[in-house]
Structure formats: C-alpha cells, structure tokens
Amino acid sequence: MSASNNPTDNNRRQFFKKLAGATAFTGSMGFAAGFGIPRLVHAIDYLQPGEWEKFRQWEATPLQARNAMDSREVATRKHIGDLTPDELEKFKAAVGIMRARSDLNPMDPTGWTSQALQHALYCSSAVRDLQVHWCWYFLPWHRGYLWSVEQMLAAAIGDKDFALPYWDWTRSPYIDPAYSGFGNPLQDATRLYTGTDQIPLDFMDVEAALQAPHFYQFGGYPYPEGRGELTEGVMEQSFHNNVHNWLGGNMSAFPTAAFDPIFTGHHGNIDRAWDAWMAIKGHELPDDEKWLNTVFSYPTWDGGITRIAVKDMIDTKNMGYQFADLNFRQHNIAPPAFEGKAASYAVAASKDDRQRIANKMKSGRRYGLLKFERMQVPIHPLCARIFVSGKDNTPHYISTFTILPVQTGGIGSLNQHVTMQLALPPQLADMVASNDDLTVHMQPVQLRGRDIPKDPIRLKNISLTSNDLV
C-alpha cells in the first residue's frame, strides 16, 4: 500500500482545514441569467479541472476497496448537519476522487460525470423510451440510483461504513454550508441562491404529501401504455420539484441536476420521505406485479452493471442502509399572499359531483383532488402557487408546485403535457359543495435570476375528482 493511498489523519485534517479557511464562494455566474438554463457541464470555475487530482491521495487501492465493500453492513444515513467532522471530510474526499476520475477520463464509469449522466439518460426519453420522472417509477428508480452512487463513494475511499448523507431541508431550510465553499468538491457554482437564503416554507409542505392516502397520489401513477398521459405524485410535483428549481442552475433541469453534489442530499431526503410515508399506518405499496417486477440497471462501484427489481428495493436494509430518523419538521406555513397577478381557470364539476366529493372530503383525509389535465409544459421550469375561490371571490391558498420540463422525442422538443393532482384540504368541503363557479388561480413565483414566463400555462381542463383508489 503506497503512502499516497494512505494519508495520515493529520495530513488530511490539515488539507481540509485549508479548504475551510478559504473564502466561501458565493458569486453567481451570470450565465444566461434571464432564463436560468443551466450548462451541460459541471461548473467548477473555482477549481481548474486538473486540480481535483489532489483528492486522489485519499483513494483506496482496488484491494482496499474490495475489502471494504465485502465487509459492508447496514450503514446509517444521517442529515448532513449531523455528520462528524471526520465523516464530512470523507464525503468530500470521496466526491473529489470521483470528480478527479472524470477529469482524467470522462468515460470512467466510476467518475462523477458518468454518474451524473446516468441520471440524465433516464430523464430523457429521447435516449430511452422510459421516463422515470412523472410516474410510479420515480421513487424506486432514484432509490437504486442513490444506492449506486453511495457504493461508488464508499469504494472510492475504501470506507466500509460510509453512508450517503441527506439534506433535510425541513430542518435546515438553507443550503447547508457543507455543500459550499471554495475548493469544496460538494460546491456547484451554478446555484442561484446562497447559504444565507431561506427556502420559502410553502415549498416544503411535507405534511400534505405524507397525508396522501394512496401510493399513486403520493409517489406517482402507473406508467401509461404507449403515448398515454403521465401523472405525477404530489411529493414529486411539490417539494421535490420546488427545491430542485429553487436551487437553480444545474439542479433546475433534469439533464444537469446530478452534476451538483447537492442532488444526493436532496434525493436522500426524498428517499427518506418515501420511508416516512410507508411508516404511516394504513399506507400500502402497490401490489401490481408490473411495478414490483420492473428491473433497473445501475453501474456498480467496480465498473460493472447490476440489475435490481423494484420489489427488492422496498426495504432499504436490503440495500445496505437505513435512515437515522424519519422525522420531518412541519413548519407553520402562513398562506402566501394572493397578488392578483394569477392566470385563472374555471373548474369543471357538476353539482352532484361537488356534493359527493365534498362529503368525502369531510372525512378529514385528502380525498378531494383538483386535477390539472394535460398541462403543456413550459420550456423553462414553472413554479406557481395555487389558490381556489368561489362566489365570494376570496382566494384560498392550496399548494405550491413546480413543473420541471422533461425531454422527449426529437431534439429540442419537450414532452407535450403532464397531468397533476392537488389535494384539497378538508376545510374547503363546504366551499366545494356550495359553489358552482369554483375558480383556480395559478400565481407564478418569482425566483432569483429567473423570468416569469409571459404566457400562462395551457391545459385541457381542471376538473374536480376524488381519490377513489382508497
């Protein structure tokens, strides 16, 4: 074992001390700021490509990596802010090593670029006729993907106990300082907010998602046959998309998102929300064989490929990890102000339907749904706050969602539409029952460095429906 592969702890500490002492990088990049279109490369402007090479002194030899991976047990994933200084240093070093590998060889299957492109492949049906976003594959596919990245990071530093940290933004609704700073492999210079900016609390309504009584409503509906309509689950369209888009830059578009290491923290928390939903009494996963037997392929830490079925991903311990806890903080979300600048849509529903759905809504669970049918997705992400009003014209806040465009078909074309459903809070039951002119208002949210699209989003219909799956 050569000395450079086995640095003393002291060396390592000094090196990272140097990193910590450097000026934090906070500058914005000024790239296509009006639109927020991210670049297709990982932005490392604060460190030249070859400079990642210095991280390779912490790289495990193949034998060390093999031994570590053979002795792995169940690793416990923690919130990034709860890592010990040593654990955080190791995480940074592991990402640094993967980045360095890609500098040397962009095709290295265990390099950062390859892992990021792996995600890009599955969100563009231009390349593969399977879309893992906007449907019931969203949660399992990303679970397997993070597992694959976790394995690569563990092997890179030969750490049998390495666990991928998650970023619980309900606990720290700021970009955690661990992900930023000059020379920090976890930094990404394309983000449009910094560590002092707070994520708006209505972007993180975890409670509303956890209350979804049926898995489809929570995690996404079955994959449609042919060119059928994709219908997204509430957790994806709300806090998952909201936080992606809020961060800006690479994170605000699927093809580039996984270049930003904060992707692993964000998705770690999404994966944890899945476990939190499952831990609630009465919540059940689909028993549909089609879903359970779907198999995805992922790269392995030693440069190979492995295949995992959805049914083998349901218990995280099967995959070698568990979460430190499943407690999300639910903030008191003050309803955002209605500014009157919204696009308005009439809700289509007969009197009978309204009465029937209102009765169900009164049970206290989230049965009443507003269904936004076949929304034409914009070219740029769209973040909007949704309000509903009746005769009295007082808009009631419902939810905040984001549409992240998904690519499809020919070059430059986007998937034509997506269907989304928003649950109505039980308190609105009377309003639903007594108004034949329910109106939905879609108020776009202004985010730093982004323009609000000029045209309101087009959709086929907004209907009122109930979650009859439960």
Q: Which residues bind ligand C2O (CB under 6 A)?
A: 119, 123, 133, 142, 240, 244, 254, 257, 267
Tokens of 375: 């929304």
Closest Cα partner for 91 from 16, 40, 22?
Answer: 16
134 vs 387, which CB is nearer to ligand C2O? 134
Angle between helices 138-156 and 112-122 (to 10 degrees): 170
Evaluated on CA atoms 18, 22, 26, 31, the torsion sign reads negative
Closest Cα partner for 234 from 366, 350, 362, 337?
Answer: 366
Closest Cα partner for 399 from 274, 275, 217?
Answer: 217
DSSP type of residue 231: B
CB of residue 401 vs ligand C2O: minimum separation in angstroms? Answer: 14
151 vs 237, which CB is nearer to ligand C2O? 237
CB of residue 267 vs ligand C2O: minimum separation in angstroms? Answer: 6
Q: Are 307 and 295 in contact (CB under 8 A)?
A: yes
Tokens of 286: 């689909």
CB of residue 270 vs ligand C2O: minimum separation in angstroms? Answer: 7
E strands in 78-218: none
134 vs 328, which CB is nearer to ligand C2O? 134
211 vs 402, which CB is nearer to ligand C2O? 402
Tokens of 418: 């997506």
157 vs 404, which CB is nearer to ligand C2O? 404
Closest Cα partner for 242 from 196, 206, 195, 277?
Answer: 206
CB of residue 244 vs ligand C2O: minimum separation in angstroms? Answer: 5
CB of residue 398 vs ligand C2O: minimum separation in angstroms? Answer: 23
Query: In the chain, what is the greatest distance between 2 CA atoms, to the nearest angstrom?
Result: 77
143 vs 244, which CB is nearer to ligand C2O? 244
- Measure Cα distances from 72 to 101, 154, 161 in Å: 23, 9, 6
244 vs 272, which CB is nearer to ligand C2O? 244
CB of residue 27 vs ligand C2O: minimum separation in angstroms? Answer: 25
101 vs 133, which CB is nearer to ligand C2O? 133
Burial 5-24 (b: 16+ CB within 10 A, else e): eeeeeeebeebbeebeeeee
133 vs 214, which CB is nearer to ligand C2O? 133
Sheet of 417-423: strand order equals 417-423, 368-376, 461-466
| Helical residues (DSSP H) of 258-345, grouped into ranges | 262-278, 289-292
CB of residue 447 vs ligand C2O: minimum separation in angstroms? Answer: 17
CB of residue 327 vs ligand C2O: minimum separation in angstroms? Answer: 22
44 vs 262, which CB is nearer to ligand C2O? 262
CB of residue 126 vs ligand C2O: minimum separation in angstroms? Answer: 15
CB of residue 409 vs ligand C2O: minimum separation in angstroms? Answer: 19
Contacts of 1 (CB under 8 A, 6+ apart): 61, 64
The length of the chain in residues reads 470
Q: Are 13 and 89 in contact (CB under 8 A)?
A: yes
